[in-house]
Structure 1
Amino acid sequence: MIKFFRKIRQNLLMENKTGKYFKYALGEILLVVIGILLALQINTWNQQRIEDKKEIELLTSLKEEFQYNLTSLDESIKVNNKVNQSCAALTQIIRLNSLEENPDLVDELLINIGAFNSFDAITGVSSEIVNSGKLSILKNGAIREQLGNWLTLIIDCEEDILFRSDNYTMNLMPFLMERFPLANGELTKKLPFDKNNYLKTYKEKSPFRFNLPKEDLMEFENQVWHHKHNHDYVVINELNLKDFILSTITMLEKELEKQ
């Protein structure tokens, strides 16, 4: 092709057709420019297609990750709601001073209030996007901001989880261990993550009886209340996280529909 154009230029010069030569040369330059522009445009289209494909992959992976977290969070909320219910039931028994009348129920409730759960979010995809420079691939600014807020929310919730656990271990448990045969809780203990019933529990009740003087009732109520109070923060955090996850999944689904 290049030889063909060169031959035309040579013939025009030999025939002393300078005007036509310059016109032809100008046309040839325009063709070259147009060719370059087309090549650049095609390259841009290809690059955009690759980025669009990457974006769809990221959005799909994010949706799957948030859906997994939603399922895990729902399980945690269910377990932690039972803790609150057990705290309320135990408080009622304390106020009625009817511990001796309901020993089996008290044993069960003492186990229940310690069976709290901690939601551990999976953040592999979202963390990689934020920390590896892939955030710019996502065109939706609201989704980019949502991912940053998501990682921050999880960190903020961890403080309340640790505070609840520390208070239960350092305050409530020492109080209970001095006054109640906690081993009785083994008869009714269930672990939510024991899907295949691997847990082996005691078959007989403890030979010891609880020893709670009447003057300790108020402290007992306060201990249970303090545990519930710390637990409430975790529960509210989880419910807020659920709202956040649901809104994020909706945003991701809408963005995927545009693709």
Structure 2
Amino acid sequence: MIKFFRKIRKQLLAEGKFGNYLLYAIGEIILVVIGILIALAINNSNENRIKREKEQVYLAGLQEEFETSKIKLEELIKVNRQSYEAAKTMVSFSYNEISLSEEELSNLFIDAFAYDIFFNPNNSMLTEMINSGSLKDISNDTLRFRLTNWIATIDDIEKQEKLLSDQRNNVINMFKAESYSIRTVLDQTGMSAELGLPKEKNPMSNMDALNSKSFENSILLFIITSLATETAHYTPLMHSLDAILELLDGEIRE
């Protein structure tokens, strides 16, 4: 097409038709510009398509990660609740005359203090996106904002879990004293057999712990911290996780 215009321009120039020559020259320029614009549009369209396909891969990976993290958080909330409920039951025997057996006390002790509470979300995809700068490829502004805040929220959760772990250890450390016996707890709960240890021939009772104000105070602090971990941290975190999953579901193409 350009050669055609060029041939006509030469002919017009040779015939001295300068007005027509100028018109055709302008037409040739317009044709070139249109061609460039079409090429740019096609290129931009291809780049946007590749970007959207890349985004869909990220979204699918994030959805899988957050669904797994939700299962972990649900289980963690359950374990934490069982832990502080066992501790509450243990403390309640300090305020009434209902008898509690050595075995029951030992089982409550294990249920309350044997398990560390730490949330370990699946963040490999999100971390990779942040480190590579690919988070900008998420077109939904609200989703991108929530994903950015997720890491900071997890850091706050870790601090609270560290505080809870310290309170748990405070209670456990009391049983390291001469007047209490962790071995009795293991024997009464059957954990000694699991560890391949023989039962103590002359077991020491831990029942006096229920009359210890220091022991009671430590348990109460543990209960308070456990409740705060659930209500002020895990519950809002679950709401945030559900919101992210809802946004991801809305952005993923079937």
Q: TM-score range by the shorter chain?
A: 0.7 to 0.9
Which residue of the partner structure matches residue 195 of structure 1? none
Alpha-carbon displacement from aligned partner over 1:61-100 (angstroms, at most 9, x marks no partner): 211111111111112112111101211211122323556x
Gaps of at least 5 residues in structure 1 are: 191-198
CA contact (8 A) 1:118 1:161 kept: yes
Match for 1:32: what amino acid?
V
Which residue of the partner structure matches residue 240 of structure 2? 244
Which residue of the partner structure matches residue 157 of structure 1? 157
Q: Distance in 2 between matches of 1:20 and 1:244?
A: 69
Correspondence 1:76 to 2:70: no
Q: Aligned-pair distance for 1:168? A: 2.4
Q: Distance in 2 between matches of 1:18 and 1:74?
A: 82
Counterparts in 2 of 1:215 and 1:83: CA distance versus 1, 3 Å? closer
**SS of 1:121 mapped into structure 2:** coil
Q: Distance in 2 between matches of 1:255 and 1:35?
A: 35
Moved more, 87-96 or 205-214: 205-214
Counterparts in 2 of 1:214 and 1:48: CA distance versus 1, 3 Å? closer
Q: Distance in 1 between matches of 2:209 and 2:75?
A: 38
Moved more, 67-76 or 204-213: 204-213
Work out the percentage of aligned pairs sharing the same amino acid.
30
Which residue of the partner structure matches residue 222 of structure 1? 217
Which residue of the partner structure matches residue 62 of structure 2? 62
Correspondence 1:177 to 2:176: yes
**SS of 1:95 mapped into structure 2:** coil
Match for 2:216: what amino acid?
E
Q: Distance in 1 between matches of 2:245 and 2:18?
A: 69
Give the root-mean-square deviation of aligned CA atoms.
Answer: 2.6
CA contact (8 A) 2:117 2:165 kept: no
Match for 2:70: what amino acid?
L
Which residue of the partner structure matches residue 109 of structure 1? 108
Moved more, 216-225 or 243-252: 216-225
Q: Aligned-pair distance for 1:142? A: 0.8
Q: Distance in 1 between matches of 2:87 and 2:101?
A: 15
What's the TM-score, normalizing by structure 1? 0.84
**Aligned match of 1:200 in 182, 186, 194?**
194
What's the TM-score, normalizing by structure 2? 0.85
CA contact (8 A) 2:70 2:241 kept: yes
CA contact (8 A) 2:106 2:185 kept: yes
